[in-house]
């Protein structure tokens, strides 16, 4: 059972967290990102790698971000503007700023509003790639709040019964603090599988599982197929992504409906756009904060969360499985390992770091 896609250790070099942070921040600075924002961007990426979410860490994303800055698709010095605001809400035009850097600023606003009114929510238009959605949701934790984050992505997922992609992988993240247990952190695409995971499967030469993709005509493929070697976001595709549930009988109308919900609560509510607008290199995000104290005693909430998570973890497992895992648990385990032993990067990724550092004239720090 594949719990996560991790890079094969045989192909990997372990690098120190601090070195990776410094190198990533230097690269962002060379893209004309202000120093403070460069540190923030590095934190978002390296946090994903620490948590074992390699799909949203440096390996998959930093190259794309550099290309985006170089093509002037991403604005390194965006002028963030609040275009509409109420006591609990704001709508922000992020001026093509990179999502991993602008979304934390929107989340700070949501948290401040939740402190005052109980809830806070900020929609973000004119955005670029969000990164790992749970990064933004988790910002609420230290304020004793629940955090939520969603993003409407460009179309890659079929609606139920459809032959043409209409929806993004549109993830939903929710983070809630516990007492003694690690926080609950859920973060999942509303497709069967995240687009970046298909990219990773392609790179690792794995099979795609039954129900992960449809054929070119929209027919769900319910047997394993080899991952196409050329899978990349936006590339011509032999296979198409399916919503969570895979088929109507399997509940794909639910994954499809949840993906629509994300488009509505991010892009459409912001008066902006939605995934299927043609040729759109545009993302709309939303963040929300729920102030626990507005509903109940914080200690009571955390104690219930501990009970909840422990009950789940102590569920007797089904045959062939060792344990029941709670959302966020594998990420805590990965973080402990990677903080102690370094972050595994594929040799090719390390080589890319060497090359880009040479090219940009900055110090290479990963060895």
Residues within window 271-300 making contact with a second copy, judged by CB under 8 A: 271-274, 276, 290-292, 294-297, 300
Two tokens, residue 23: 């190198």
Q: Which of 18, 317, 347, 358 binds a second copy (CB under 8 A)?
A: 317
Asked if 211 touches a second copy (CB under 8 A), the answer is: yes
Least distance from C-beta 339 to a second copy, angstroms? 24
For 180, phi then psi, to 5°, come to -90, -25
Q: Which of 184, 231, 283, 353 binds a second copy (CB under 8 A)?
A: 184
Q: Are 112 and 89 in contact (CB under 8 A)?
A: no
Tell me the window of 36-44, 46-54, 55-63, 166-174 that interacts with a second copy (CB under 8 A).
166-174
Exposure of 243 by Cβ count < 10 A (0-12 exposed, 13-18 middle, 19+ buried)?
buried
Beta bridge partners of 213: 241
d(CA 290, CA 110): 9
Asked if 179 touches a second copy (CB under 8 A), the answer is: no
Q: Which of 37, 181, 263, 331 binds a second copy (CB under 8 A)?
A: 263
Exposure of 45 by Cβ count < 10 A (0-12 exposed, 13-18 middle, 19+ buried)?
buried
Asked if 6 touches a second copy (CB under 8 A), the answer is: no
Least distance from C-beta 117 to a second copy, angstroms? 4
Site string for a second copy, 19-48 (x = CB under 8 A): ------------------------------
For 185, phi then psi, to 5°, come to -135, 110
Q: Which residue has the tokens 């939520």?
A: 148
Q: Which of 18, 82, 87, 360 binds a second copy (CB under 8 A)?
A: 87
Q: Which of 118, 179, 182, 233 binds a second copy (CB under 8 A)?
A: 118
Least distance from C-beta 218 to a second copy, angstroms? 3
Two tokens, residue 74: 């991403």
Least distance from C-beta 356 to a second copy, angstroms? 34
| Residue number, 33 or 259, with CB nearest to a second copy | 259
Q: How far is CA 194 from CA 62, 174, 330, in A?
A: 17, 17, 17
Dmax (CA) of the chain: 55
By CB under 8 A, the count of residues binding a second copy is: 96
Element housing 145 (H / E)? strand 145-152
d(CA 246, CA 153): 19
Q: Which of 39, 228, 280, 308 binds a second copy (CB under 8 A)?
A: 308
Q: Which of 228, 233, 257, 342 binds a second copy (CB under 8 A)?
A: 257
Asked if 116 touches a second copy (CB under 8 A), the answer is: yes
Q: Which of 31, 64, 73, 166 binds a second copy (CB under 8 A)?
A: 166
Residue 314: which residues within 8 A CB-CB, separation 6 or more?
A: 324
Least distance from C-beta 73 to a second copy, angstroms? 23
């Amino acid at each position: 059972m594949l719990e996560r896609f991790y890079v094969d250790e045989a192909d990997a070099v372990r690098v120190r967290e601090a070195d990776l942070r410094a190198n990533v921040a230097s690269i962002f600075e060379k893209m004309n990102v202000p120093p403070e924002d460069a540190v923030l961007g590095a934190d978002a990426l390296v946090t994903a790698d620490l948590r074992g979410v390699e799909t949203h860490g440096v390996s998959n994303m930093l190259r794309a971000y550099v290309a985006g800055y170089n093509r002037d698709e991403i604005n390194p010095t965006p002028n963030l503007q609040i275009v509409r605001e109420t006591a609990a809400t704001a709508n922000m035009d992020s001026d093509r700023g990179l999502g991993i850097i602008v979304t934390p600023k929107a989340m700070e606003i949501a948290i401040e509003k939740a402190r005052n009114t109980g809830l806070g929510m900020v929609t973000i238009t004119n955005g670029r790639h969000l990164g790992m959605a749970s990064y933004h949701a988790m910002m609420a934790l230290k304020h004793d709040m629940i955090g939520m984050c969603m993003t409407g992505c460009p179309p890659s997922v079929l609606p139920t019964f459809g032959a043409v992609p209409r929806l993004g992988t549109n993830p939903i993240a929710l983070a809630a603090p516990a007492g003694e247990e690690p926080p609950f952190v859920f973060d999942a695409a509303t497709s069967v599988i995240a687009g970046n995971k298909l990219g990773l499967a392609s790179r690792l030469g794995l099979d795609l599982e039954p129900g992960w993709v449809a054929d070119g005509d929209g027919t769900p493929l319910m047997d394993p197929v080899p991952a196409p070697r050329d899978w990349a976001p936006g590339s011509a595709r032999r296979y198409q992504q399916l919503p969570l549930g895979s088929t109507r009988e399997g509940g794909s109308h639910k994954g499809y409906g949840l993906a629509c919900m994300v488009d509505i609560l991010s892009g459409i509510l912001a008066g902006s756009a939605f995934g299927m607008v043609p040729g759109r290199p545009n993302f709309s995000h939303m963040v929300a904060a729920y102030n626990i104290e507005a509903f109940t005693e914080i200690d009571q909430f955390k104690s219930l969360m501990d009970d909840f998570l422990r009950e789940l973890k102590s569920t007797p497992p089904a045959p062939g499985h060792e344990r029941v895992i709670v959302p966020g648990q594998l990420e805590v385990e990965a973080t402990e390992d990677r903080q102690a032993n370094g972050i595994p990067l594929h040799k090719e990724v390390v080589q890319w770091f060497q090359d880009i550092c040479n090219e940009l004239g900055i110090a290479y720090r990963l060895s």
